[in-house]
Structure 1
Amino acid sequence: MDKETLVKDHLALANLYSNGKGVWWKTIEEASHVLSLTEPRVSAQQIKQARAVAAFPAEVIRLFEKSGTNTYVRRKIIEAKECLGWPEVVKRALTLKPAETRAERLSILSTLASGKRSENLFRGETPLALKKIYQEGLENGRWKNLSQASKGLGFTSNSLYKAMDICKLRKPVTDHFPPDKISVYLGTELLKVMNLLGCAEFERRVCLLEENNQNLSFKAKLAKIRADTVSVVTEIKVRRARGKVIIELHCDDKNGKLTSRQRDLVSLIGSTINAFNCVQ
């Protein structure tokens, strides 16, 4: 394990401190000094936090021995303990298998803190990570559909549906916007642009990126796809409800003449449906 990874993993750092105590250092401050002789530096506070994590109940610690822990994991476990108490957290931990991946680690944190969950727990996660969490829940019987999974994870149903839709995008879109690297927010913006342009035009513009824009950031690529997109439609919302697909067109009608452009509106709806089919 390289030092940068070790510093971020509380259990590994706590173990290193314990093994070195009495051999290379006697106090936390001395350990901080020795470990900071090379980059990255290790503060006394980091060592204290690592030891605090190592002192968690063994039933909880075992869940993260393979996947490791970090500041975020420590904070969420402490929040669960403060909300539910160690007895309840340990009881839940005993029903879970140790995490081997980041997605499994997030799923465990969700279970340990259920009842006090927040969608913020998954903020910044990729669509593919959320898809894996959903699929794992299906396999172990934790939920039967997206609606149940949304409630179980503390999500709004729309957010999890969006993550699933983003993962269904086709090549060449996924070549430039991999679902295991972009955020759900950026993926949702991609879907909005595809709704406005239509699937064929959207994919055509993505293909044009291959010539000169391989090194652009995801946001810069999205901006290029959006460039020169002129439309009276300011936003298109697509949602599911009771087996139906509901399409909302939000249009700019400052001159009051939009109602006379029925053919344009029908065309826009057709493009939206085609784009929607691209992620089915």
Structure 2
Amino acid sequence: MAEKSQPVGHFGDDPLALATFYRLMLGTRWNTISEAANEMAKLGFKASANRIQQALALSEFPREVLDLFKGVGMVNRTARELIRMRNEQGMEQIVARAIEIDPAGKSRSQILALICGIENGRNFRTYQRETPLSLNRRYRDGIESGLWSAMRQAGKMMEVSPSRLAEASAIAALPRRFLICLLSTP
């Protein structure tokens, strides 16, 4: 039995990285979405044709929308919801809302709820695999913008345990050389 090759990198749950990789290899390693899905599977990446198509659609969204997620990252669930909202409400409506949003201290779910025009963001589950660095960035943004002044208060507003915030802060405080090692490990 042939051994499956290990991926040289990974996308995790990042549709924008997937779209970038697809376009980078288009015309050299593959010519269609279907071929790309097959080739990525051989490389050890989990990327169905549907997921690639979704990633490409998301990557076409205006910067006003995508930039809101720079601090918290983008995941496949967020991509699905944004595409669904675009189909239901139209891009103009989404962009109009996006322009009014200050992402500082907000979670991915909160930003998504605001873009979709949903008052209570609890309709979107919190993505539990948020990286410690991303979580710490949100926490620090909230402190700087005055949304909260203590970890316990931030935890309550961010819907994250204060111990998880403390852990994220400790990881973010590690020397840069350790962080580079952590970030380069799949």
Fold conserved (TM > 0.5)?
yes
The 3 A distance-change label for structure 1 pair 3 and 67 is farther
Decide whether the 8 Å contact of 2:82 with 2:112 is kept in 1: yes
Q: Distance in 2 between matches of 1:137 and 1:125?
A: 22
- Corresponding residue of 1:111: 114
Shift of 1:56: 2.0
Structure 1: which amino acid aligns with 2:96? Answer: K
Decide whether the 8 Å contact of 1:62 with 1:98 is kept in 2: no
More strand by share: 1
| 2:26 corresponds to 1:25 | no
Shift of 1:125: 5.8
List gaps (5 residues or longer) in structure 1.
142-159, 168-177, 182-280
Structure 2: which amino acid aligns with 1:40? Answer: F
List gaps (5 residues or longer) in structure 2.
1-7, 130-134, 148-155, 167-186
Q: Distance in 1 between matches of 2:34 and 2:42?
A: 13
The 3 A distance-change label for structure 1 pair 92 and 137 is farther
Shift of 1:180: 4.4
| 2:94 corresponds to 1:89 | yes
Q: Distance in 2 between matches of 1:14 and 1:22?
A: 14
Structure 2 length-normalised TM: 0.58
Shift of 1:179: 4.3
The 3 A distance-change label for structure 1 pair 112 and 31 is same
Decide whether the 8 Å contact of 1:11 with 1:65 is kept in 2: no
Decide whether the 8 Å contact of 2:78 with 2:112 is kept in 1: yes
- The structure number with the bigger radius of gyration is 1
Cα RMSD over matched residues? 4.2
1:246-278 deviations in whole A, cap 9, x for unaligned? xxxxxxxxxxxxxxxxxxxxxxxxxxxxxxxxx
SS state at 2:124 partner: helix
Aligned pairs, number: 149
Shift of 1:82: 4.6
| 2:17 corresponds to 1:9 | no
Q: Distance in 2 between matches of 1:30 and 1:125?
A: 32
| 2:124 corresponds to 1:121 | yes
